[in-house]
Each structure stands twice: as C-alpha cells, then as structure tokens.
Structure 1
Amino acid sequence: MHKRLAIPLLAAVLLSGATAQSAELRGHGGPVRAISVAPDGKTAATGSFDTRAIIWSLETGEARDVLLFHEGEVTAVAALPNGRFASAGADGRIAIWQTGRSDPARILEGHAGPVADLEVSPDGSMLASASWDATVRLWPLAGGEARVFEGHGANVNALAFLADGTLVSAGYDAIVIYWPSQAGAPPVRAVMPTPLNTLVTAPGDRLFVGGADGHVRLLDRRGEVQLEMQVSRKPVIALAATPDANYLAAAGIDDGILLLETRSLSTIRTLDTSDVAVWSLASAAGGKTLLAGGADHLVREWNVETGERLGAAVTGKTDPMARYADNPDAEVFRACIACHTLGPNDGNRAGPTLHGIFGRKIASVPGYHYSPAFRKMDIVWTPETVSKLFELGPNAYTPGTKMPEQTISNAEDRAALIRFLQAETRTD
C-alpha cells in the first residue's frame, strides 16, 4: 500500500511496478469471491461482494470491463468459449457476457436461491450452476432449456466436471453426487463426515473436496476417500490445482494459503496473506502462478515454485506511473491508471478516458457504455464535484454506478488528486 493512498480510486486496478511484494489487482469494493482464468491464460474474470464482475487483461493488468448487473454479491464467474464469461450471484441469475458489451448477451433464470458456483463442461458446450436452492442446473450454451438435477438436501456449494463430462456436485448436506451424463441413469452418492464447500478435479477421474472440518479429501470416481489431511483449523473454502497436478492450493478462513503436494497432501509451504482471509483461488500462467482473492478487496499473485509474492520486478511489467515521476501529486492516481487513460489519443479502458474531464457533463464520453443510472444524472465534472465524489463515495454521490464503493477521507489527498488531473487532463 502506498503511503498516501488508503483505498483504490476510480474503479481501478493496480499492478504496481515497485517491488516483487506489490503485485495486486485493485478495483473491487468488497471481498473477491470468485476468480476464473480463460484457457489462453491472458484474461480473467473476478466476482465480488460489491455486486460487480470485472474482466481483466492478465498481460497488461488492465481492467477491460466492469460489469454491473446483479442485485447482490457476485458469487461465481466462469470463462466460456469464444472470449465470453459468465457471472452469477445472490440474486439467483446468471449473466453471459461478451467482451466489450456493457449489458449481458444472455440471462439465465430459474434458480430460486443464490448461485454458489459455475463450471464449464470439458467440451465447452454446457454451463453448470450450483445453487442454495438445493438444485444443480445444466445449461446448453447454444440455447435451450436447462436440465435440472435434484438430490441434495441443502445448499449446493461446488461443482466439477470429470474428463468424460460427468458432472459432480457437493453441498452443505455433506453429500457428493456424481450425475450421469445420460438421462435416466442413477446418480452415485457419497456421504462425507462434514459439510462441503469446494471441489477441484484431479487426474484419473479423481476429486479433491474441501470441508467445513478443515480437511481436504481425495475421492475416486465412486466417491470413496483415498486420502485425507487436515490442512486448516477452520473450514476450507477454496481450492485450486495446477494443470500438471503436482500442487494443490487450499485456503481456510483466516489461515492463509497452504500449498500441498497432491500425492500425499503434505504441506510444501504456507503463503503469507498477512492475516487477510482468502475467498477464492485460481491457477494462472499455466500453473506457474496462483491468484488469490481476498477479504481486503484485492487479488494477489504468487509464484507457485518459490512461494514469492509477485510484482513488476518478477513479471517484467513496467511501472505505468513512471512517466509522472516529476509530479508530486501523481501517487494518489496510481490505483486509477489501469482503468483510466489521460491523453487525447489513449481512448477508453474499463472506465472512460479522463482527458478533458473538467467541464464535461457526466456520461458524455463518446463510445463508452455507461450504466443507465449514470446517463440520467445532471452533473458536470469540476474540481468540486470530483472531490465530492470521493468525499461521499460513488454509491452515495452517483447511485447505480459501476464504480466500486470507495472514499478518500483525507482532504489533502483529494486536493492532490484534483491537482494531478488538472495538470494531466487539460485539452489545451
């Protein structure tokens, strides 16, 4: 955290260029509940308690789209074929997103409770959803009615697909169900000794399952426990396996992240999260790195082999604020740079360009897709209104915005931000 910046600004993401300890994705205004990395490893989606999903470029650290649709926290995301993503939330709805569009390309409705997990079938044709309404649904991505699976007696929290397309679900009823791909065939049910929170596949049609008792268990295709290990004093709420199946990352509430060796479930190392609870995990960079979404609203990245937290010195990324090194007010803008451009020819990112912001009416940048609430407001951006935005927070000053909730309580920091914008966004 930079000394003058207490919170993220302007719906932004930070990939700091300072040290190997500072790689962070900033932009959410609440705990990051879900992460999904696209198959090509270049793009990822995150979902948060702030009701927003964000699509990121993992190559540049830019937030490409900030997506506002759900009425409540976004609890699940999934990367789909052809550059699409899906998000789902506490409102029970699933949104299918096409890159560059501010509205869902398709909305899937049917669940009567929050959607806790989304998974894509191995062939990319189906999207599975798990809900607290005790059902699992299988949606054809080409269109058509969902197939509904009923059999759990409580919240369904997690899903996974085996290599042959068999769908597996786990729930708070402590049951794992293997659903047959052919209609009419009976499911296989396995009873565990504890409520279940998370699943991840392993080679050989096996599964790792994380439970409320702090144990990770390895199951075979019949649901029989082959191996188990207590890895946390508290419930295991997130798991992620590397593609080579050598490592398994496990996060327990307030217990940090444990990197496990998959053959024995023995702990290789503990990744220091500075006592921040981790809500979500995802393997990235072909299994070389691990992404973790925290209760502090950030996504951090670790090198799997070394356990080192990554930053620009490791990834080779340059500091995007280097060009403003001579401006003493620039540091306040650091967390904004990946979502907002400043120059006349730089265009829009996840947020609109700030070039010429002062004197501009709200929601008036050509080519940027604003939220409907923004388009109805009668605000002109001046030093006073921009300062008021961060004094009160976006939700209070501009209700319905796509921006995460955030404030700058320090008047000196607000003044520094205004001076920086006045110097760097003028049109003359």
Structure 2
Amino acid sequence: MRALVCLTLMAAPAAAADFRLLVGHGGPVMDAAVSHDGRHALTASFDNSVGYWTLGGEEVTWLEGHEAAVKTAIFLPGGRAASGGDDFAIEVWDLQAGQRRERLEGHKGQVASLAVSPDGALLASASWDGSVGLWPLDGQGAPQFMTGHEASVTDVAFSPDGTLVYSTSADGTIRAWDVATASEKRLLLSHGFGVNTILVGDGWFAYGAVDGGTRVIDSTTDTLLADLTLERRPILSMALRPDGGEIAVGDGEGYVMTVSTEDWRINGDFRAAAKGPVWALAYTGDGEGLLGGGIDDTAYVWPAHNTLDAPIMATVERGFLKDPDKMSNGERQFRRKCSICHSLTEDGARRAGPTLAGVFGRKAGTVPGYLYSETLTGLDIEWNDETIDLLFDLGPDHYIPGSKMPMQVIQNPDDRDDLIAYLKNNT
C-alpha cells in the first residue's frame, strides 16, 4: 500500500531548509534507521507500522503486518528491511514491493532491537524473553537462542568482524556472545542499573543506562575510555555517524548529545524535545543531520551540529499527557487507557487500534481497512455498555484472548461507568 506524504519544511531561525518533518504515523516513533546510501529511512511506530521514506522526496510506503507496536526497524542487504515489536515477531520486508517477505517467530517476549551482521548473513535480535536470537537470513537453518541474561535483553550489536554479538539487559550487564558456537563468550561488565542501548565501534563500545550512565569502554582491555554521564536519565538511544567519527546520545528528558570518537569530547548538547523521550535516533547518510523521534506521531530531521533555539519535538501537548485536573473522570480514563491507540472520530489518522467512531452497536472486528487479528474477526460480540464494561473489568487478555489490544484493566466500576459515558458522548 502506498501513500504520498510531504516532508514539510519547518520554520527555523537558522538553516531552515535542513529541518524536515516525516508526517503520517498515528503513534509515537520508537526507532529509526537510514539506508547506507542515505536516500531512504525507516521509522518504527506504536501504530503497529513501519514507514519506509524517501528522504528529500514525497513518498512513503507503509509496511503493515505487525499485530502490536513496532519497536525496532533496520535495513538489510538486497532491498530488504526487518522490524520487531510487541507481537514477539520479526517481519522481513521486500522494500520495492512494500510487502512482507517472511515472518520470523520464536521469541516469547517483545523484540526490542535488531542488528545485521557485517556480511549480511545473520540477523541478531534482543527480546524481553531474556534471549538473544540469531537468524540465518538466507532461510537455511533454524534460529538459535542464546540465554544467560537474568532479565529482558534490550539491545544487540555485532562486532566489526562479525564474530561476536554484544547484548545489553535490564539486569545491568553487557555480554559478548560467540556467533560461531551461539554461546556466551564472556561477561563484559555489570553496570548496576539496567542498560538500554549499545554502540560498537573499532576497538570500543559505548553504552547508555537507566540511571543516565553513559560510558565508553575499550573492547580489548575493558578500560574506561570516557565517562559521558550527565545529570539526565534514562539513556534511550544511540547512533553512530556513518564515517564512525561521532556518536549521538538521546535520553528520556528530550536531550541529544553528540560526541567525537577521536577524543571523546562533547561536540554538542541540545534539547530536541520539549517533553518526553528521544527513543529514535539515526544519522543521515552524509552525517550532517539527525533523524529522531519520540512521543510525537512525527519523525524529525535536523542538522546534527545546529544549535537549536528551541525544541522541535513534542512541542504540542499530547492528549494522554493533559493535566488530569482539567478533565472529567471519563475523559481521564480515555486519555490514559485508550487515546494513544484509538481516535474518537473518523479522522483517517493511523492508529494502533481502530477508530471508536460509532462503536456502540458495532460488531467487533468490522471497521473497514483496519488489520484485525483473526481472534477479533471471528468473534460475535457487539460493543455496548455491557461488553465494554466486561472488556475493562476482565482485561482484553482475558475477555478476548489473542486480541492485539494491550492489557488494560479498570478495577473501579465507577471509573468504567464514567469511561462508557464519555465514549457515548464523544463517538
């Protein structure tokens, strides 16, 4: 499916032509990648889709097939891409056709990160099931799952020679795995707090952690090369400039820091987002720009070394972040439980869930154009006061096992009544 979306130029005090918006997602942007030639980008979103963009052009292809939020996306050799998400699956895409090529299954938790080996033969995956997956990309042979972490695996990266896979975990450790034997090589370090992200360069690796720890380690001697820790937490994203000369670091408070890999000096530090996290971060092909995303439905491109006069991301308040004291209880329940996935009107916006317009009296699984799970399309449920109450009383995972809807329970009957009344008045 193809759609045309303009990469609108932002008004900015300096280098305005270098600021661009990638508009079209219907949920927060969780990850981004730029192709080796710099002509295309991928964005992974909470709206269950991947955007395949022509940078500097007008066309975007929506890659749809995931049954839950997409958390990671990368380019693969041969005109392909891969993505992983909350549905525990990895999708491999044919970019020219804009269609799914194959679905890789085996993880038992969300797929948080992907990496491709230098020779393009293997795909590594980090999963919240505590394992690191190795997948042959030629379709020959079964995947292998390496275990040893004591909590969810948050990121993976190959060594430059492709013999090792590095992994980070919520257990606070970084481990190296031998690709040839699919076994643990060694424990590299124990940080003490969960480690979210890692970059691997020539003779070094850099990592970012939940407590804000941002450090660079010599991968041969294990000595500390640089401590880049600032008073911001958590560290959520890292990117390596294509020429290897600089890294960018995004955090939970909306800041992006750029650092030279020659001497580990900070080149720049600016607030990219007015509110919320920088989940997605990637350099443009020429290394002059950064592609970022976060709590907005939009991804942004800006000059890597431009001093921003003001944040460009998350400058408009999202409904689910509104002051609760300024909302009725029914609206508060909707904003917190439903608004990130559902719209109240038929606005045509992309969302992780179908529009709620006209939901009362509608049979489940019948909104035209929405990609439902087989569970929903086979149900004989009509949405009304009673069924919506049961949905949030029991939780979707119990009321409709197999539904794509995330687990949401509203325990207080009065809160459920207020939500139902709000939906009646607004759909």
Q: Give the TM-score, by structure 1 length.
A: 0.68
SS of the equivalent of 2:286 reads: helix
- Residues 184 and 40 (structure 1 numbering): CA distance in 2 closer, same or farther, change over 3 Å? closer
Correspondence for 1:233: 232
Taking the aligned partners of 2:179 and 2:76, their CA distance within structure 1 comes to: 20
Evaluate the alpha carbon distance shift between residue 286 and residue 400 of structure 1 in structure 2; reply closer, same or farther with a 3 A threshold.
same
Q: Distance in 1 between matches of 2:51 and 2:242?
A: 24
What letter matches 1:262 in structure 2? T
Residues 233, 255 of structure 1: 8 Å contact kept:
no
Deviation for aligned residue 1:188? 1.1
Tell me if structure 1 keeps the 8 A contact 2:169–2:194.
yes
Equivalent residues of 1:231, 1:258 under 8 A apart: no
The equivalences for 1:11-410 within 5 A come to 12-16=5-9, 20-21=15-16, 22-63=19-60, 65-143=61-139, 144-165=141-162, 166-183=164-181, 186-190=184-188, 191-204=190-203, 206-222=204-220, 223-276=222-275, 277-307=277-307, 389-390=346-347, 395-396=354-355, 398=367, 400-401=369-370
Give the deviation of 1:23 after TM superposition: 1.4
117 and 393 in structure 1: CA distance in 2 versus 1, 3 angstrom threshold: closer
- CA RMSD in angstroms comes to 2.6
Asked whether the equivalents of residues 254 and 273 of structure 2 are also in contact (C-alpha less than 8 Å), the reply is no
Shift of 1:160: 0.8
- Give the C-alpha shift of residue 229 in structure 1: 2.2
User: Which ranges in structure 1 are unaligned for 5 or more consecutive residues?
Assistant: 1-9, 310-387, 403-428
- Higher mean C-alpha displacement, 258-267 vs 292-301: 258-267
Question: Higher RCO, 1 or 2 (CA under 8 Å, sep at least 6)?
Answer: 1
Structure 2 unpaired stretches of 5+: 310-344, 358-366, 372-427
1:347 corresponds to which residue?
none
Whether the 8 Å CA contact 2:160–2:201 is kept in 1: the answer is no
Q: Distance in 1 between matches of 2:113 and 2:184?
A: 23
CA displacement at 1:231 relative to structure 2: 2.8
Q: Could you tell me which amino acid in structure 1 is paired with residue 84 of structure 2?
A: A
Offset of 1:162 from its aligned partner?
A: 1.1
| CA-CA distance at 1:264 after TM superposition | 4.9
Secondary structure at 2:67 match in 1: coil
Deviation at 1:16, TM superposition (A): 2.4
Change over 3 Å in CA distance of 1:226–1:70 after alignment to 2: same
2:394 maps to none
Q: Which moved more, 1:128-137 or 1:138-147?
A: 138-147
Read off the aligned partner of 1:239 and give its amino acid letter: M
Amino acid at match of 2:239: A
Offset at 1:266?
Answer: 3.8
Post-superposition CA distance 1:216-254 (Å, at most 9, x none): 111222554332221342110001121333322111112
Query: d(CA) in 1 for partners of 2:308 and 2:58?
Result: 19
Looking at structure 2, the residues matched to 214 and 305 of structure 1 have their Cα atoms a distance apart, in angstroms, of: 22
Q: CA deviation at 1:195?
A: 0.9
Secondary structure of 2:42 counterpart:
strand
Give per-residue Cα distances to partners, 1:177-228, cap 9 Å, x unaligned.
1111321765111222321000112222x11101111121112225543322
Question: CA shift at 1:256, angstroms?
Answer: 1.6
CA distance in 1 between counterparts of 2:24 and 2:191 reads 38
Cα displacement (A) at 1:60 = 1.1
Aligned residues: 314
Judging changes above 3 Å, is the alpha-carbon distance between structure 1 residues 149 and 186 closer, same or farther for their aligned structure 2 residues?
A: closer
CA apart distance, 1:13: 4.6
Tell me the distance in 2 between the aligned counterparts of 1:173 and 1:231: 22
Match of 1:79, SS state, is: strand
Distance 1:16 1:41 in 2: 19
* Structure 2 CA distance for partners of 1:235 and 1:148, relative to 1, 3 Å: same
The verdict on how the C-alpha distance between 1:218 and 1:101 changes in structure 2, with shifts beyond 3 A counting, is same
Secondary structure of 2:47 counterpart = coil
User: Relative to structure 1, is the Cα distance of residues 399 and 218 closer, same or farther in structure 2, using a 3 angstrom cutoff?
Assistant: farther
Q: Contact between 2:133 and 2:145, CA under 8 Å: does it hold in 1?
A: yes
- When residues 164 and 188 of structure 1 are mapped into structure 2, their CA distance, relative to the original with a 3 A threshold, is same
Q: Which moved more, 1:298-307 or 1:70-79?
A: 298-307
Q: 1:17 to 1:391 in 2, by over 3 A?
A: closer
Q: Which residue of 2 aligns with 1:345?
A: none
Which residue in 1 is equivalent to 2:338? Answer: none
SS at match of 1:187: strand
Amino acid at match of 2:76: L
Task: Give the partner amino acid of 1:29.
Answer: G
The one-letter amino acid paired with 2:36 is P
Rounded Cα–Cα distance in structure 2 between residues aligned with 1:392 and 1:115: 25
CA distance in 2, matches of 1:393, 1:122: 35
Query: Does the 8 A contact of 1:232 with 1:252 survive in 2?
Result: no
2:103 aligned counterpart, secondary structure: strand
Residues 393 and 151 of structure 1: CA distance in aligned 2, closer, same or farther (over 3 Å): closer
How far the C-alpha of 1:392 sits from its partner, in A, is 9.3
